[in-house]
Amino acid sequence: MTSGDKPANPGPATKGNMSVADRRRATLERTGIAANRKLASGPPPAAFFGILAITILLVMFGLVMVLSASSVSMLHSRNSPMFIFNKQLFWAAIGAFVMFFTYRMPYIVWKKWAPAIFGVGVVAMFLPFVPGWGVEVRGAKAWVGTGVLGFQPSEFLKIAVLLVCAKVLAERFREVHDTRRTFWPVIFFLAVAGVLCVTQRDLGSAIVFAAIVFGVLFIAGTKVSLLAGAAVVTGVLGIAEVMRVDYRRNRWTAFLDLDETKLHDGYQVYQSMISIANGGITGVGVGEGAGKWGYVPLAHSDFIFAIIAEEFGLLGVLAVLGMFLGLVLFGIQAALGARDVFGALIAGGITSWFAVQAFINIGGVTATTPVTGLTLPFISYGGSSLLVSMGAAGLLLNVARNMK
């Protein structure tokens, strides 16, 4: 070739000579992501740092409290005092990878896979009924497996319901007033999840599903009167299910009269109230609480807030409440500033989820709401809950990072 000749057109780059950046761009274009959503390149907004900081603080604080609340009971059962803590630490480490993955993966990808994820989540809800797989805990047949590999399928279904509802409402956003196209399909997903939870005798998770669905419907612009009517119907059905079975009715209503029920159905709540009172303003000190010495059942899981109040006092309680309030406020900012409807619905649904689950857990521990068996997000012991909560936090960070 002479100096005056132009080089031949090399054509499209082959896989062998493409850089990592080129491959990533090619993948984005092939999947349609680059055309639908441009990734943010500027500095992250304040909401992003707020969500990240609060999530890390809650997870780290939860690990400390799980160790404090479980060490005594583990010694009594002739296990290592670190036994429960090590399992929670394992799930926190896995959760960190999941959180990073859901943060880095462009959230528009989840729209395409939402129906398949929902289908897998529904199938997984039947696993507790498979002989040899299911485990019954405190009357609810909602767990699969044992030991460190045990999990609760309803936790994973929360993400699935959120994604599929967000997909439907985002794609039909301009048809929000057509209930046949928007409202009823989303209510169908709620009904499926709710029926499966009731079948497992896990009404607490059904309440969280309702919070997620009503949250995304509200953000999508559904009429408030329609939402109020649906909430009333859902509440009536839930109350009817509670009243249908004696032991469930007694458990849910025990908090209304602790003096009368403190020796049986209300024992757990009554003991938690004693632990909270012992904490005073500043608490008795980390590891010094008496409630975990067998007085407060499930001190490291559902009732860990009572141990927090006893060991850190009112100041610790206000700090935890402040972190959850901050997480909700930053989540609302992310939803309001999202680049698209799908992102806004994801952020709003996750924020509703965390807010309602924290409220119900703390309400049950403090005798202001019925005890439902829900964990305190990021803090209570529970591998499935921690893993899914951290994954949801990663999605929330994803939306917050790419705000307008």
Lowest mean pLDDT among 76-85, 166-175, 372-381: 76-85
Q: How confident is the model at residue 42 (pLDDT cuts 50, 70, 90)?
A: confident
| pLDDT above 70 for 239 | yes
Greatest distance between any 2 Cα atoms in the chain: 101
For tokens 């649904």, what's the residue? 349
Lowest mean pLDDT among 199-208, 270-279, 335-344: 199-208
| pLDDT above 50 for 286 | yes
Q: What percent of the chain has pLDDT over 90?
A: 64
Pick the more confident residue, 63 or 79. Answer: 63
| pLDDT above 70 for 165 | yes
pLDDT, average across residues 380-393: 95
Q: Do the strands 140-144 and 134-137 form a parallel or antiparallel pair, or are they unpaired?
A: antiparallel
pLDDT digits (tens, 9 = 90+) for 6-34: 444 444 445 556 665 555 445 444 444 44
Q: How confident is the model at residue 247 (pLDDT cuts 50, 70, 90)?
A: confident
Residue-level pLDDT at 136: 77
386 with 59: CB under 8 angstroms?
yes
Instruction: Report the C-alpha gap between 53 and 61 in whole angstroms.
Output: 12
| Burial track 235-248 (b if 16+ CB lie within 10 A, e otherwise) | eeebeebeeeeeeb
CA geometry: angle at 387 spanning 386 and 389, to 5°? 65
pLDDT, average across residues 301-308: 94
* Single-letter amino acid, residue 118: F
Q: How confident is the model at residue 141 (pLDDT cuts 50, 70, 90)?
A: confident
| pLDDT above 80 for 148 | no
pLDDT, average across residues 131-152: 75
pLDDT, average across residues 56-83: 91
For tokens 């998770």, what's the residue? 205
Grouping H, G, I as helix, E, B as strand and the rest as coil, residue 152 is coil
What DSSP character marks residue 39?
Answer: P
Q: How many CA atoms lie within 13 A of 77 on its CB side?
A: 13
* φ, ψ dihedrals at 151, nearest 5°: -150, 165
Average pLDDT, the chain: 88
* φ, ψ dihedrals at 290, nearest 5°: -95, -20
Tell me the DSSP string of 246-271: HHHHHHHHGGGGHHHHTTTTTHHHHH
Residue-level pLDDT at 373: 83
Residue-level pLDDT at 250: 85
Residue-level pLDDT at 332: 96
For tokens 């729209």, what's the residue? 111
Count other Cβ atoms within 10 Å, centred on residue 16: 5
Q: Is the dihedral of CA 377, 205, 317, 328 positive or negative?
A: positive
Q: How confident is the model at residue 187 (pLDDT cuts 50, 70, 90)?
A: very high
Instruction: Report the C-alpha gap between 58 and 324 in whole angstroms.
Output: 9
166 with 172: CB under 8 angstroms?
no
CA geometry: angle at 368 spanning 366 and 372, to 5°? 85
| pLDDT above 90 for 321 | yes
Residue-level pLDDT at 32: 42
Cβ-Cβ contacts under 8 Å for 277 (sequence gap 6 or more): none
Q: How confident is the model at residue 346 (pLDDT cuts 50, 70, 90)?
A: very high
